């Protein structure tokens, strides 16, 4: 059992339980457990947020109930922003308009619920006749230049037929829309009930355990495969957000398995009076009163017990699909959902560069991506999560190295520590996203500058970038143990695109990143050298490391002219000379994580057993400093490649 709290970077603040909507798929307005709760004053909110910041929270999700019913909503948003937090706010828009001018500039994302464009259907779903207010607010904010809006559309059998209309509305007004297939928010809720109906659902008493004598609830339902497919087919629509990891979770829900959830470990749930809700808002039957600072409450034995023994294990947890609690842990577990989430994020970042596409073009992309996503699921199926919240993946000591599910052979301790220098999986070295992200972070933005100058060549290249993403994933999945040989056809297609893009970017920003990507293709090194080189790029050492798995000896020798001289021996496979360890005590995990001889610390762990290795990694993670993570990671990667420290 884990006993230490993990680092809380996210908090969900339920500002109020009051709501002026009567949604049939929610019971916050129906269950008396939510009635009559004291709400924080302006001073209380400021203190609550300051304590969350001291705990390490940098991302705040303000929700409810309906947050606009709280008279101090502006105070909460402004103070969170002053503390440097990223703020997300969700509203039904019924009475949000008077506060919008003050609040919208302060939040990073404003979520507005919009399930339908039909006033009649809106009333049936939400129990109010206020659709016109929502549409007016969206259009007014967009006219005023707000670019941080996101529509949340809960997709059910009731509104699936008009999904295209809602998406078209979002596209017309240039607003992102998140498509969420309906799932059970609360136990005993398995359908959209008639608006205004009241059914006592499942919550027992605040701070009291559920009644063990209560009759068993009916099994909870998940969306049909047809509904999930309808949502998935929208992934290439402009301005739509479809989280493929969420769809995978709904499709594979199994009540016999434990659900990975961030409640009490990654996400702290705060009630209207400042209490810590246990385990979460959706299965809440206990709480810790806010009588001590949050930094003490997260160490409370009851919170730790609930987190370690109940979260993910309760019957309600095993059929849960509340994505705010489930999505974050996916970033801390390198398994199939993380890779699908990474693919989705890339797609969302690349789509804005592509113009609206024809139905034929969309059909081709859907067919191609279906095949790639199936391969992602197949190749990643053997990946196992870590045994501890602070382990990004399963690992065991073996033969002077580390056995993981990420490579056929043992990897180095340096790689293990480099991966765990970061809080989550987004910079794990063997995740395809680590390299593919160069498309949206450097390469396509540089091409987009050319398109702004009305260069037809740049426009054509950008139109093909969604195919390029698929080719990159096909190539970069191959180093995983179940991946097989690199996809030759994908490498050839990538070569042709990189050659054309390279001539467009010769000597300009983005050329170095493109050269790195081109090295993974079949493009001759001489052609790459004519317009760029990966020398000096931040990911150059990682590219060298990946090429040792992706390319044969002849190809690596050919590419050597493109890379920095100190990296060439590692690229072509020359043996790395063993270094004589320095005299003196080995640095502790905390000292090494702070920058004192991390290379020596890694070397000392090469012959540690599994338990000692896990203990060292947990201490290493506990000492993490995001500001220095990339520097430490780079030092360890260069040490692994045999490059002497500077």
pLDDT in tens, 452-462: 555 667 888 99
3-state SS assignment for residue 15: strand
pLDDT of residue 195: 40
pLDDT of residue 580: 58
pLDDT class of 186 with cuts at 50, 70, 90: very low
Residue in 445, 498, 446, 448 with CA at minimum distance from that of residue 468: 498
DSSP labels, 34-88: GTT-----HHHHHHHHHHHHHHT--EEEEEES-GGGSTTHHHHHHHHHHTT-EEE
The larger pLDDT score, comparing residue 127 to residue 59, is at 59
3-state SS assignment for residue 402: strand
Q: What is the CA radius of gyration of the chain?
A: 26
CA distance 442 to 437: 8
pLDDT class of 540 with cuts at 50, 70, 90: very high
The larger pLDDT score, comparing residue 192 to residue 543, is at 543
Ranking 11-15, 147-151, 180-184, 406-410 by mean pLDDT, the lowest is 180-184
CA distance 402 to 413: 6
What Å distances lie between residue 89 and 92, 93, 275, 499, 504, CA to CA? 10, 11, 20, 44, 41
What crossing angle do the helices spanning 629-640 and 540-550 adopt, rounded to 10°? 40
Tell me the two tokens of residue 28: 């916050």
**Mean pLDDT, rounded, for 106-114:** 96
Which tens digit of pLDDT belongs to each residue from 62-89?
A: 999 999 999 999 999 999 999 999 999 9
The pLDDT of residue 355 is above 90: no
The two counts, helices (H) then strands (E), for the chain are 30, 12
The total of other beta-carbon atoms located within 10 Å of residue 519's CB is 27
pLDDT class of 1 with cuts at 50, 70, 90: very low
pLDDT of residue 30: 72
Kindly report the average pLDDT of the chain as a whole number: 89
pLDDT of residue 214: 39
pLDDT of residue 451: 58
The pLDDT of residue 413 is above 60: yes
Which tens digit of pLDDT belongs to each residue from 565-618?
A: 999 999 998 876 656 566 789 999 999 999 999 999 999 999 999 999 999 999
CA distance 210 to 225: 32
The pLDDT of residue 353 is above 60: yes
**Mean pLDDT, rounded, for 320-339:** 92
Residue % of the chain over a pLDDT of 90: 75
Handedness of CA 627, 630, 634, 637 (dihedral sign): positive
The pLDDT of residue 331 is above 70: yes
**Mean pLDDT, rounded, for 392-416:** 95
pLDDT of residue 285: 87
**Mean pLDDT, rounded, for 247-255:** 92
Residue where the block lists tokens 């929502």: 134
Ranking 23-32, 425-434, 511-520 by mean pLDDT, the lowest is 23-32
CA distance 63 to 16: 8
pLDDT of residue 153: 93
The HSE-up count of residue 127 (CA atoms within 13 Å, CB side) is 18
Cross-strand pairs, 149? 110
Helix (H) or strand (E) holding 586: none
pLDDT of residue 260: 93
pLDDT of residue 507: 86
Which tens digit of pLDDT belongs to each residue from 198-226?
A: 333 333 333 333 443 333 444 445 678 88
pLDDT of residue 157: 81
The pLDDT of residue 443 is above 90: yes
pLDDT class of 31 with cuts at 50, 70, 90: confident
pLDDT of residue 275: 97
Q: Torsion-angle region of residue 196: left (phi > 0), alpha (psi -120 to 50) or beta?
A: left
The pLDDT of residue 189 is above 80: no
**Mean pLDDT, rounded, for 265-279:** 96
């Amino acid at each position: 059992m884990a006993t230490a709290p993990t680092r809380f970077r996210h908090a969900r603040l339920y500002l109020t339980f009051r709501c002026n909507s009567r949604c049939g798929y929610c019971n916050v307005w129906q269950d008396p457990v939510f009635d009559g709760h004291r709400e924080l004053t302006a001073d209380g909110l400021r203190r609550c947020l300051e304590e969350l910041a001291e705990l390490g929270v940098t991302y705040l999700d303000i929700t409810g109930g309906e947050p606009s019913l709280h008279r101090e909503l502006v105070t909460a948003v402004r103070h969170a922003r002053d503390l440097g937090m990223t703020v997300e706010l969700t509203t039904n828009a019924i009475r949000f308009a008077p506060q919008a001018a003050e609040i919208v500039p302060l939040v990073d994302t404003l979520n507005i619920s919009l399930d339908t464009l039909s006033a009649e259907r809106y009333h049936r779903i939400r129990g109010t006749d206020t659709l016109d207010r929502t549409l007016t607010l969206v259009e007014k904010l967009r006219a005023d230049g707000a670019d941080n809006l996101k529509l949340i559309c809960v997709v059910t059998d009731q509104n699936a037929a008009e999904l295209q209309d809602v998406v078209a509305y979002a596209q017309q007004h240039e607003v992102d829309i998140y498509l969420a297939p309906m799932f059970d928010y609360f136990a005993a809720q398995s359908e959209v009930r008639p608006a205004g109906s009241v059914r006592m659902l499942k919550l027992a008493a605040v701070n009291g355990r559920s009644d063990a004598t209560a009759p068993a609830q009916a099994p909870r339902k998940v969306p049909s495969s047809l509904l999930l497919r309808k949502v998935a087919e929208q992934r290439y629509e402009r301005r739509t957000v479809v989280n493929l990891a969420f769809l995978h979770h709904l499709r594979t829900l199994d009540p016999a398995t434990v659900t990975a959830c961030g409640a009490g470990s990654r996400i702290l749930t705060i009630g209207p009076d400042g209490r810590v809700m246990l385990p979460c808002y959706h299965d809440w039957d206990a709480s810790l009163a806010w009588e001590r600072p949050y930094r003490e409450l997260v160490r409370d034995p009851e919170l730790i017990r609930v987190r370690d023994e109940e979260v993910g294990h309760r019957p309600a947890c095993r059929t849960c699909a509340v994505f705010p609690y489930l999505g974050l842990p996916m970033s801390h577990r390198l398994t199939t959902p993380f890779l699908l989430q990474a693919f989705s994020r890339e797609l969302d970042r690349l789509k804005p560069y592509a113009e609206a596409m024809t139905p034929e073009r969309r059909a081709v992309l859907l067919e191609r991506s279906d095949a790639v996503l199936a391969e992602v699921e197949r190749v990643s199926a053997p990946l196992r999560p870590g045994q501890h919240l602070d382990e990004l993946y399963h690992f065991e000591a073996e033969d002077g190295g580390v056995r993981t599910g990420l490579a056929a052979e043992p990897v180095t301790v340096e790689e293990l520590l480099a991966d765990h220098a970061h809080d989550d999986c987004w910079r794990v070295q063997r995740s395809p996203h680590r390299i593919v992200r160069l498309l949206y972070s450097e390469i396509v933005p540089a091409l987009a500058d050319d398109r702004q100058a009305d260069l037809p060549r740049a426009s054509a290249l950008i139109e093909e970038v969604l195919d390029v993403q698929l080719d990159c994933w096909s190539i970069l999945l191959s180093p995983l143990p179940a991946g097989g040989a690199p996809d030759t056809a994908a490498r050839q297609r990538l070569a042709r695109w990189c050659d054309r893009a390279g001539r467009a970017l010769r000597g300009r920003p983005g050329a170095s990143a493109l050269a790195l990507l081109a090295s993974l293709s079949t493009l001759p090194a001489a052609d790459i050298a004519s317009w760029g080189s990966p020398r000096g790029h931040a990911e150059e050492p990682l590219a060298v490391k990946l090429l040792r798995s992706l390319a044969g000896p002849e190809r690596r020798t050919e590419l050597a002219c493109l890379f920095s001289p100190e990296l060439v021996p590692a690229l072509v496979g020359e043996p790395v000379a063993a270094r004589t360890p320095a005299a003196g005590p080995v640095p502790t995990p905390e000292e090494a994580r702070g920058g004192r001889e991390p290379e020596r610390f890694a070397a000392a762990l090469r012959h540690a057993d599994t338990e000692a290795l896990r203990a060292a990694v947990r201490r290493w993670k506990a000492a993490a400093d995001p500001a220095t993570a990339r520097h430490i990671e780079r030092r360890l990667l260069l040490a692994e490649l045999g490059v002497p420290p500077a």
